Structure formats: structure tokens, C-alpha cells
């Protein structure tokens, strides 16, 4: 009985530790996008790369160079790091949300995709592509 209580305490401690370290921060599209933007604002390009979906590299969205050994984010991506997330719309394994830069510039609509149970930033929505 004591072993079961000790095991339960260890499992609980590990779960709480994972939550404190950011585990599960991408549980909703808004959480994933805010985590991505926070990583950009903090200059943590490696963390931002972990939150990108499979289609992000195929878009013109400013983003970190995730193929580099030491990724860095372009200034235009960092500028959105302190942006405001709004208008989150979820449909199955796809979602979109608007990001308004902190300087009050024009909002961009960002696509997200759920992959392996976690939401990922997947690029700009088609409506925002400049031709």
C-alpha cells in the first residue's frame, strides 16, 4: 500500500513538473499561437521552430530558419511576438486566428493545424498572401 502511495506521489510530481515547464501549452489553437509568439518575443527561435506545422516552411510567413543548427528569427517575425491573438476559429484539425502586432499594424490571419494531438502554427491564411 505504501508503494502505491509513493508511486502516485511520483506520478503527480512529474505531471506537475511537466505542466510547470510548459508541457501542454499547445492544447488549443490559441495556446499554440501564443506560445509561438512568446517564443519569438523572447528570441527563442528553437522553441518557435518546435511549434511550427508541416506546411509553415512552404509559406512566405516570416519565421525562424529551422534548418540551421542555431536558428534565429527575422526581425519581422519577432515584431509579431508581442502581438494580440483574436478571432480564433477552429474546424476539426484546422484553425485560424488573427495576430495584430503590438505596434497596432495590420492583423495577419495565421493558419494552425492539429498534428499528433498538438496544435502547430502552419503559415499565413490564403487571404493574407500578397501577390
Dihedral pair phi/psi, residue 72, rounded to 5°:
-135, 155
More confident residue, 101 or 15: 101
Strands (E) across 23-126 are located at: 84-91, 94-100, 108-115, 118-124
More confident residue, 73 or 25: 73
Give the rounded distance of the alpha carbon of 18 from its chain centre.
Answer: 17
Q: Is 98 helix (H, G, I), strand (E, B) or coil?
A: strand
Dist. CA 131–CA 36, nearest whole Å: 26
Sheet of 118-124, strands arranged across: 84-91, 94-100, 108-115, 118-124
Torsion of CA 51, 96, 105, 72, to 10 degrees: 10
What are the residue ranges of helices labelled H in 1-131? 2-20, 29-41, 45-50, 75-79
The pLDDT value given to residue 74? 74
Q: What are the structural domain ranges in the chain? A: 27-128
User: What is the DSSP code (8-state) at residue 128?
Assistant: G
Q: pLDDT (tens digit, 9 = 90+) per residue, 62-111?
A: 677 788 788 877 777 777 788 899 999 999 999 999 998 888 888 889 99
Q: Which of 7-16, 29-38, 89-98 has the lowest mean pLDDT?
A: 7-16
**What is the domain class of 27-128 according to CATH?**
alpha beta
Question: In angstroms, what is the C-alpha Rg of the chain?
Answer: 17
More confident residue, 60 or 49: 49
Quick check: 41 pLDDT over 90?
A: no
Q: What is the residue-averaged pLDDT of the chain?
A: 74
Share of the chain above pLDDT 90, in %: 27
The pLDDT value given to residue 26? 61
> For the whole prediction, is pTM greater than 0.85?
no
Amino acid at each position: 500500500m505504501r508503494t502505491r502511495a509513493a508511486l502516485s506521489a511520483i506520478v503527480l510530481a512529474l505531471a506537475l513538473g511537466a505542466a510547470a515547464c510548459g508541457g501542454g501549452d499547445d492544447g488549443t489553437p490559441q495556446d499554440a499561437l501564443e506560445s509561438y509568439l512568446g517564443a519569438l518575443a523572447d528570441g527563442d527561435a528553437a522553441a518557435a521552430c518546435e511549434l511550427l506545422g508541416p506546411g509553415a516552411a512552404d509559406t512566405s510567413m516570416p519565421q525562424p530558419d529551422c534548418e540551421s543548427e542555431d536558428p534565429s528569427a527575422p526581425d519581422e517575425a519577432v515584431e509579431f511576438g508581442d502581438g494580440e491573438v483574436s478571432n480564433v476559429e477552429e474546424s476539426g484539425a484546422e484553425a485560424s486566428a488573427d495576430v495584430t502586432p503590438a505596434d497596432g499594424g495590420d492583423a495577419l490571419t495565421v493558419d494552425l493545424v492539429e498534428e499528433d494531438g498538438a496544435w502547430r502554427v502552419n503559415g499565413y491564411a490564403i487571404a493574407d498572401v500578397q501577390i
